[in-house]
Amino acid sequence: MEQDISCFQSDLDFCPECGTVLPLPGIQDKVTCVRCSFSIDIRNFEGRVVQSCVEFNRLGSMALMVMDDGQEVKGPVIDRKCPQCGHEGMVYHTRQMRSADEGQTVFYTCSQCKFQEKEDS
């Protein structure tokens, strides 16, 4: 279903109909949303500068911790504030705890006080 006029207005990075991130303009004369097939004339993108940034994790950003019960916890460290001690930096790992059609559970462990919390997605 190719359309040219939307009832909504949005930034050119997003589809005005469904909100999906639009692909970068290519050689075609229209940019088409991959989700709802809404299309925007490529001339709307003239003069627009696209910038991107890749941020790499620091070396050693993987933490290995030994819990009180002797169990090792390792994984990437993210910028997340521990609700227990306020330390910035928690290790996380994910597990599929429910059926396959449901999201994973994310487990966070404070790298300082070893407080653990989980987040269902």
7 is in an annotated binding site: no
Residue 102 has phi, psi (to 5 degrees) of -110, 160
Of 85, 89, 91, 120, nearest to 106 (Cα)?
120
pLDDT of residue 101 exceeding 50: yes
- What are the angstrom distances between the C-alpha of 71 and each of 39, 64, 94, 104? 53, 10, 16, 21
Between strands 62-66 and 39-41, the pairing is: unpaired
Concatenating the DSSP letter of every residue in 43-96 gives GGGTT--------PPPTT-EEEEE-TTS-EEEEEEEEEE-TTT--EEEEEEEE-
53 is in an annotated binding site: no
Tens of pLDDT, residue by residue over 2-55, are 455 666 676 778 888 888 888 888 888 999 999 899 998 988 888 888 777 887
At 30 the pLDDT is 92
Q: Which DSSP symbol is given to 25?
A: P
Please give the average per-residue pLDDT across 57-77, as a whole number: 61
Residue 1: pLDDT band by 50, 70, 90 thresholds?
very low
Q: What pTM, to 2 d.p., does this model score?
A: 0.42
